[in-house]
A and B are shown apart, each in its own frame.
Chain A
Amino acid sequence: MSQVISFHYDVPGDDFTRAGEASSSIKKVLKQVGLAPDIIRNVAIAMYEGEINMVIHAGGGQIDVDIAPDEIRMVLKDQGPGIKDISLAMQEGWSTAPDEVRSLGFGAGMGLPNMKKYTDEMDIESAVGVGTTVTMTVFAHPREEAAS
């Protein structure tokens, strides 16, 4: 059972209301696979934060998810403006989100910190004017009763 299931999503850049579709879809798949609820929640939260970031900052992007027996790997790639200072962006509360995004309840500078908090591994590659790729991995610890 070393099979990897792969999914690809295009995240539209102009539609805040559709952000979350990719993460909801993956959440359903992971439930069917029978992973523990806390693992599913970690993946869903990290991926949704990534989706929101793509919509707010990068005009959308692409997400590839590989679900393997031992880990879930998410690669979020955009062609946005890039992150000038990654260590600054990783600090809670630091944000460049515009006011209209804040009025929706986002833009508090929690996105990247939340993504790090809910994943086991996270790597950011970013070049100003080129785009950003965030790779996140959540280790799977299947429940013993998952087969039931």
Chain B
Amino acid sequence: MKKITVRQILEECGFSLLAGAGALDRQADRVFCCDLLSFVMGRAPADSAWVTVMGNVNAIAVAVLADTACIVLAEGAALDEEARSRADGQGVPVLGSAQPIFDTGLLIQRLLED
């Protein structure tokens, strides 16, 4: 399966960087969309680009433990201050997209299929 870096996702999809600038070379090989953290824990594939609107500190913990490549906050959802600091500390890239979840995931998927 094709792999792309989080940096490529950031630059080629036109997202903004919200946190985790030090971990942009992490690679992703698929997209996973879900907001319910309990589901994400059980079902998000490792190395996925996780698209969600949950910008709290628990989302960062889930990303670390489930080993997702990055979090992409869709719908312009906010990353709260504590979450931003945790993401920087734990090396979790968090990107921001103004578009809805499906459209955001689709942009990344197209990049993976390029």
Contacting chain B: which of A41-49, A64-72, A79-87, A129-137? A41-49
Task: Check: A2 CB closer than 8 A to any chain B CB.
Answer: no
Using CB atoms, name the residue of chain A closest to B53: A105
Contacting chain B: which of A4-12, A14-22, A119-127? A14-22
Contact A20 B65 (CB under 8 A): yes
Q: Which residues of B contact A111 (CB under 8 A)?
A: 38
Most chain B Cβ neighbours within 10 Å, of A38, A44, A105: A105
Q: Which residues of B contact A107 (CB under 8 A)?
A: 38
The answer to whether A108 and B38 touch (CB under 8 A), given A17-B57, A38-B46, A44-B65, is yes
The number of chain B residues with a CB under 8 A from chain A is: 22
Contact B65 A23 (CB under 8 A): yes
Using CB atoms, name the residue of chain A closest to B57: A17
Task: Check: B59 CB closer than 8 A to any chain A CB.
Answer: yes
How distant is the Cα of A104 from the Cα of B59 in the complex, in angstroms? 9
Task: Check: B41 CB closer than 8 A to any chain A CB.
Answer: yes
Q: Which residues of B contact A48 (CB under 8 A)?
A: 41, 61-62, 65
Q: Which residues of A contact B59 (CB under 8 A)?
A: 105
A116 to B: closest C-beta gap in Å? 10
Contact A113 B42 (CB under 8 A): yes
Task: Check: A114 CB closer than 8 A to any chain B CB.
Answer: yes
- 18 new A-B contacts, CB < 8 A, other than A37-B46, A44-B66, are A19-B58, A20-B58, A23-B61, A24-B64, A24-B90, A27-B64, A27-B65, A41-B65, A45-B65, A104-B37, A104-B56, A105-B59, A106-B58, A108-B36, A108-B38, A110-B39, A114-B42, A118-B42
Residues in chain A within 8 A of chain B (CB atoms): 16-17, 19-20, 23-24, 27, 37-38, 41, 44-45, 48-49, 104-111, 113-114, 117-118
Residues in chain B within 8 A of chain A (CB atoms): 35-42, 46, 54, 56-59, 61-62, 64-67, 82, 90
- List of 3 A-B pairs having minimum Cβ-Cβ separation, nearest first: A20-B61, A105-B37, A110-B38
